[in-house]
Amino acid sequence: MTLTSGRYIGHEYDRMIVLFSMHDGGKEIPCAISTSAMDYLERGPQARPEQREAQFIRLRDRIESCAASKYRATEFEGTPPGIVLRSIDFRG
């Protein structure tokens, strides 16, 4: 099944990640992206914590496309299993 957009959950400053979700039908898939990956995608200065949600919205299509690829490849991490995106996932 194809993943669809879910919700923006929030920025966790201490863990340096942004949490979001995607949906596989009625199932919510937990996802996260490192803030360094988002900064890498924009190739600009590091965003401030209060700018992370806007940055995620700007990059949402690219982030969700990468998450969908990892989902199809069944590259899950953590408990409960979810998708984690890092800078290396956007290189190449």
Q: Give the per-residue pLDDT at 1.
A: 62
Q: In the chain, which stretches have pLDDT less than 50?
A: none
What's CA 66's distance to the chain center, in Å? Answer: 8
Residues 57-83: tens digit of each pLDDT? 999 999 999 999 999 999 999 888 999
* Number of domains forming the structure of the chain: 1
**pTM assigned to the model:** 0.94
Whether 91 is in a domain gets the answer no
Q: Which residue range is the domain that position 67 belongs to?
A: 3-86
Concatenated DSSP letters of 19-84: EEEEEETTEEEEEEEEHHHHHHHHTSSPPPGGGHHHHHHHHHHHHHHHHHHHHHTT--BTTTTBEE
Cα–Cα distance, 41 to 62 (Å, whole number): 9
**Domain assignment of residue 47, yes or no:** yes
